[in-house]
């Protein structure tokens, strides 16, 4: 039915922060699935790996759709309590989390893990766990956005948010350390793994580390967005 209304209350636009939080959730969920995919990969369970890859693919696609929606929802006539450019650059980083999860899952599917030494497998599981931890903390941080807006950026709330960000960055640093250690072990086992295998594993380390990297740089952009307001 057509609304016979002379209303002007569309002055209250749709908040981009609601889909922004949903977008963060998609990324984190993709990383959760990636951790399961990693276990399946190390266990040599190709069926589960493929299943998880499809799920991650879908989550990444959902995240992309939300990203488009957010971008389309802020034309020049819409005024936000934060800088629009900051919001968009934050969104871009946040979107990369799911992108890296997807890239890592694809990468695993390229080459099955046949003869990986146990210590390398454990190294990967440890690295994945640390990456997931970083992303989970990031998710918590993204959840703070809601409170920030509800209190209209109260000092207390900003302070609380600002304490989480360095924690995310610290976890990301832990991931960096694990990455280097794992790469070292991969090269130590280069005879057993073979040249192509080494090449493949390096790529995998990079992608899994990338998930944590992007979580940290999203956190960093979030800080800029809040403080520059």
**Contact pick of 22, 39, 73, 162 for other proteins (by CB under 8 A):** 73
Based on the shown chain and the rule CB under 8 A, indicate whether residue 79 belongs to the binding site for other proteins: yes
What's the CA gap between 139 and 41, in Å, rounded? 25
Contact 63, 26 (CB under 8 A): yes
How wide is the angle at C-alpha 69 spanned by C-alphas 218 and 102, nearest 5°? 50
Based on the shown chain and the rule CB under 8 A, indicate whether residue 180 belongs to the binding site for other proteins: no
Question: Phi and psi for 120 in degrees, rounded to 5?
Answer: -70, -45
**Which tokens is 156 given?**
């207390």
What x-and-dash track marks residues 131-150 binding other proteins by CB under 8 A?
----------------x-xx
Based on the shown chain and the rule CB under 8 A, indicate whether residue 159 belongs to the binding site for other proteins: no
What's the CA gap between 93 and 24, in Å, rounded? 10
**Contact pick of 118, 152, 195, 196 for other proteins (by CB under 8 A):** 152
CA distance to 92, 197, 203, 222, per residue, from 105 (Å): 20, 16, 11, 27
**Contact pick of 7, 47, 118, 196 for other proteins (by CB under 8 A):** 7
Based on the shown chain and the rule CB under 8 A, indicate whether residue 198 belongs to the binding site for other proteins: no
Minimum gap (Å) between residue 156 Cβ and other proteins: 7
What's the CA gap between 11 and 58, in Å, rounded? 34
Looking at the Cβ atoms of 19 and 203, the one nearer to other proteins is 19
Looking at the Cβ atoms of 79 and 114, the one nearer to other proteins is 79
Based on the shown chain and the rule CB under 8 A, indicate whether residue 163 belongs to the binding site for other proteins: no
Based on the shown chain and the rule CB under 8 A, indicate whether residue 72 belongs to the binding site for other proteins: no
Based on the shown chain and the rule CB under 8 A, indicate whether residue 227 belongs to the binding site for other proteins: no
Burial class of 83 by CB neighbour count within 10 A (0 to 12, 13 to 18, 19+): middle
What x-and-dash track marks residues 25-54 binding other proteins by CB under 8 A?
------------------------------
Cβ-based neighbours of 26, under 8 Å, separated by 6 or more: 59, 60, 62, 63, 66, 98
Residue 194: how many CB atoms within 10 A of its CB?
Answer: 13
Based on the shown chain and the rule CB under 8 A, indicate whether residue 11 belongs to the binding site for other proteins: yes
Looking at the Cβ atoms of 9 and 110, the one nearer to other proteins is 9
Contact set with other proteins (CB under 8 A): 3-18, 73-75, 77-81, 147, 149-156
């Amino acid at each position: 039915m057509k609304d016979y209304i002379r209303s002007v209350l569309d002055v209250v636009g749709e908040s981009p922060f609601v889909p922004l939080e949903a977008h963060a959730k998609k990324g984190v969920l993709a990383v959760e699935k990636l951790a399961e995919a990693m276990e399946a990969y190390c266990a040599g369970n190709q069926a589960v790996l493929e299943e998880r890859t499809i799920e991650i693919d879908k989550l990444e696609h959902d995240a992309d759709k939300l990203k488009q929606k957010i971008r389309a929802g802020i034309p020049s006539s819409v005024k936000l309590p934060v800088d629009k450019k900051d919001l968009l650059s934050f969104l871009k980083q946040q979107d990369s989390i799911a992108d890296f999860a997807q890239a890592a899952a694809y990468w695993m599917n390229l080459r099955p893990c046949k003869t990986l030494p146990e210590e390398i497998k454990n190294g990967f599981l440890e690295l994945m766990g640390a990456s997931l931890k970083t992303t989970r903390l990031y998710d918590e941080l993204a959840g703070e956005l809601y409170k920030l807006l509800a209190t209209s950026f109260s000092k207390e709330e900003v302070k609380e948010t600002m304490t989480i960000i360095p924690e995310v960055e610290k976890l990301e640093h832990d991931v960096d350390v694990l990455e280097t250690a794992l790469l070292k072990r991969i090269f130590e086992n280069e005879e057993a793994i073979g040249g192509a295998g080494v090449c493949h594993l390096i790529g995998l380390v990079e992608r899994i580390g990338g998930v944590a990297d992007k979580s940290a740089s999203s956190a960093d952009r979030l800080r800029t967005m809040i403080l520059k307001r």
